[in-house]
Structure 1
Amino acid sequence: MDKTGHRQIGIVVVMASLMIGSGVGRPARAFDITTDVPKESGRFDLFRFGFKAYQNGDKEKAVEAYRYAAEKGHTGSRWALANMYAYGDGVPENDYEAFKAYAEIVNHDVEPGSPDTGFYVNALLALAGYYQTGIAGTPVEVDLVQARQLYFQAASVFGSPEAQFRLARMILNGEGGAKNVRLAKKWLNLARKNGNVGAMAVFGDLVFNEGQPVLGLAYLTMAADRCAPGDCSWIRELQEKCFSVVDENDRRGAIALAQNMSTSNP
């Protein structure tokens, strides 16, 4: 998987944020992870065992427990296995195995707001990313139309800000369908309002080039102030490019406006 631009998030951190409703928050018997994986246990107990083993650094047992739980239909375990294969975390990196695990999640529809929603949306994003790049030596070929459709599903049905941003960029570049700057701008603005910093930067660049330099630079300045380390390079490059072609009054106006907007919309 081409992970450039697709931020890798540690499984422990993401898993903790997706646990609610997946069984980990429920009272459960204490597991001794020094023993063998209790494969006859129910899927939620196996999931808890795997997560505890992962947290304690025993990824071999985590993988085994997740596999048993996945075979019994546990979505969170499928997602954990997919991520481990995607990033070579405790297993040899294998994008095709990851793709198949993500696809298995997506093949089982979920209702927005259900306990498995977070896993489902993450799987949609991962599959779309694979379709954007393809997986060499496997049946998974580049399919930009499919990637765009998956991003649209995650963006519209589930309201994912990251999907809204990625969809907007595909529309802006005419990938997987017609180029439509106005439509791309709408998705960017929605993603920006939902907290996506990358969308704020690209939206600001569009506004700047449409003849609103102060407003565009203000968005770029806020994005540069809020960006995560993996995104700061390209965002600051955009900001510096725009700053270099305006006069001092516009620069000062943009900085002041950015401060005002940050105060009113922290």
Structure 2
Amino acid sequence: MRISSSTIACLFLLLGGHQAAQAQDFSGAKPLPPRAIPGGALPEPDDSVPGGSDAAAIAPGPNTPTAHTALPLVPFTSARDALKAWMRDSTAGNKVGAVRALEYAASQGHLTAQYKLGRMYAGGEGVPANDLKAFEYFSKIADENADAMPGTADARLVGSAFVALGNYFSDGIKGSYVKPNPDRAFDMFHYAASYFGDPDGQYNLARLYMTGQGASRDRRQAARWMKLAAEKGHAPARAAFGEMLLRGGEGVPRQPVLGLMWLAMAREGADPTREAWIIERHDVAFAAASASDRSAALALIERQHLVNSRNGNAVQN
């Protein structure tokens, strides 16, 4: 199957001539951190919300998360000592001791402990699920570490915290001051995407541009952010970007071969349980495509795998 020169040119345009170490805002200016979430005590989810329906849309973040008072703090000698105790108690199945140790490390400003607790409360892992406490921890991380050096291990945690906050501001937290706030969600996703180059942030930012929530609807901007996340192996972004290229329109060129390529690459990395929709859309698109487009897309995938393999060998050598 011969691939036209125009298709190859579009491939290089869409894949990019090189992968930037850090994703920058398309305006060329360094993004500014979102405004800090004001300090103050947050109510527990079951508490009544003062002010009724006119209460503030943004939940004030605490100076010290209320989760820290859930258990008495054991006087560890240091955050490192507490983390050792957390690993020991986790291995032994002592959930109470493990959480107490993490609480102490988090109270000492240990970023990893704060992030771990945020994820635990968000997912109910080893503790009762409590989105408000998770929100507190992620807020504290974002407020105190917004200038973390991109590309570092700390920056990856901070970027993920901004994405988590974006999700909370998108949906709100029932029974709390955290109300749906598209503008704040956009701020959080945009900073995670542009400063930290976080693929989840880029994907969610693209979705806001697609729907016009928190920003003017702009499919071209959506495609650019979706492309950045897709290049980093983000399966949902690859699927969404592929569908955008299949349809085209509104400033996005229609490139069915490249659309099929991205959908096929998305299917390769999709989780069959959590991302079954990717597999379904891939199958539908390939069934509707012409034989020539399918063959051309598969040829591009093979070429991309070959390039990745060579690049991997070059790094090892």
With normalisation by structure 2, the TM-score equals: 0.68
Deviation at 1:46, TM superposition (A): 0.9
Which residue, out of 247, 258, 263, partners 1:220?
A: 263
Does the CA contact (< 8 Å) of 1:125 and 1:151 recur in 2?
Answer: yes
Preserved contact between residue 102 and residue 124 of structure 1 (Cα < 8 Å): yes
- Tell me which amino acid in the other structure corresponds to 2:75: K
- 1:252-263 to 2 correspondence within 5 Å? 252-263=295-306
Shift of 1:231: 4.7
Tell me which residue corresponds to 1:108: 144
Correspondence for 1:44 among 56, 68, 80? 80
Show the counterpart of 1:85. 121
> Which runs of 5 or more residues in structure 1 are unaligned?
1-36
* Separation of aligned partners in 2, 1:112 and 1:255: 38
1:99 deviates by 0.9
Aligned amino acid, residue 215 of structure 2: G
Segment drifting more, 150-159 vs 248-257: 248-257
Question: Does the CA-based 8 Å contact 2:118-2:133 persist in structure 1?
Answer: yes
RMSD (CA atoms): 2.1
Cα separation, 1, equivalents of 2:213 and 2:87: 38
- Given candidates 185, 196, 221, the residue that maps to 1:158 is 196
Distance across 2 between alignment mates of 1:134 and 1:99: 10
Question: In structure 2, what residue type is equivalent to 1:53?
Answer: D
By how many angstroms is 1:240 displaced? 2.3
* Alignment check: 8 A CA contact 2:226 2:240 kept: yes
Using CA pairs below 8 Å that are at least 6 residues apart, which structure has the higher relative contact order? Answer: 2
Instruction: State, as a whole percentage, how many aligned pairs show the same letter.
Output: 33
Gaps of 5+ in 2: 1-72, 249-253, 310-317
Comparing 122-131 with 191-200, greater Cα deviation is found at: 191-200
Q: Which runs of 4+ in 1 moved over 6 A?
A: none
TM-score (norm 1): 0.80
Residue number among 60, 63, 68 corresponding to 2:104 in the alignment: 68
Larger-Rg structure = 2
Aligned pairs for 1:1-266 (under 5 A) are 39-109=75-145, 110-113=147-150, 116-210=154-248, 211-265=254-308
Deviation (angstroms), 1:68: 1.5
Q: Residues 196 and 237 of structure 1: is their aligned pair in 2 closer, same or farther, counting only changes over 3 Å?
A: same
8 Å Cα contact 1:112-1:157 kept in structure 2: no
Could you tell me how far apart the structure 1 residues matched to 2:107 and 2:187 are?
A: 28
SS at match of 2:288: coil
Shift of 1:38: 5.3
Aligned to 2:186, what secondary structure does the other structure show?
helix
| Offset of residue 165 of structure 1 | 1.2
The separation in 2 between residues aligned to 1:44 and 1:121, in whole angstroms, is 23
**C-alpha distance in 2, partners of 1:119/1:245?**
41
- Shift, 1:108, TM fit: 0.5
